[in-house]
């Protein structure tokens, strides 16, 4: 029997991931990135669509510079500001039944013990429905 293809949604806990400036459009919901309801609705939509996981990319600082400054990236909302997706995942797991979650987080961001503790807590709070990467 052939292996089943996995379907993953790709996003960031930020107003704009790959569509910089679209947050300024009148009908955009991208500025609701800090609203739990927006993320819960996305997770439920992905689950209804039979997605396997939502993947959250993560960065710690403005993603780019222009003419030696981060100002353009900040002004245009180019992957800035960003929230910690590991904090969002238990909320989404609570509102879904079979959707998995993955995220990137560099182990250089945290000391090993708090990082391992966070991963263990995520495992317990989501009944194993997250898949962390580093």
Let me know: does 101 contact 126? Beta carbons within 8 Å. yes
Calculate what percentage of the chain has a pLDDT beyond 70.
85
- 20/39: higher pLDDT: 39
| φ, ψ (nearest 5 deg) of residue 98 | -135, 5
Neighbours of 67 (CB within 10 A): 6
- Looking at residue 23, the DSSP 8-state letter turns out to be G
CATH for 9-133, options being 3.40.720.10, 3.30.1490.20, 3.20.20.30, 3.40.50.300: 3.20.20.30
Q: Give the residue among 17, 1, 95 at the shortest CA–CA distance from 59.
A: 17
Does residue 39 have a pLDDT over 90?
yes
**pLDDT for position 77:** 66
**pLDDT for position 95:** 94
**pLDDT for position 41:** 94
pTM for this predicted structure: 0.78
Neighbours of 85 (CB within 10 A): 25
Share the mean pLDDT of the chain: 82
Indicate the pLDDT class of residue 20, thresholds 50, 70 and 90: low
């Amino acid at each position: 029997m052939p292996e089943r293809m996995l379907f993953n949604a790709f996003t960031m806990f930020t107003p704009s991931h790959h569509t910089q400036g679209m947050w300024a459009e009148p009908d955009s919901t991208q500025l609701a990135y800090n609203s739990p309801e927006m993320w819960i609705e996305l997770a439920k939509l992905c689950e209804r669509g039979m997605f396997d996981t939502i993947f959250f990319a993560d960065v710690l600082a403005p993603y780019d510079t222009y003419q030696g400054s981060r100002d353009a990236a900040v002004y245009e909302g180019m992957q800035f500001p960003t929230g910690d997706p590991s904090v969002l995942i238990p909320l989404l797991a609570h509102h879904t039944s079979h959707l998995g979650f993955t995220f990137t987080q560099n182990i250089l961001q945290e000391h090993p013990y708090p990082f391992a503790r966070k991963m263990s807590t995520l495992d317990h709070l989501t009944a194993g429905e997250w898949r962390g990467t580093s």
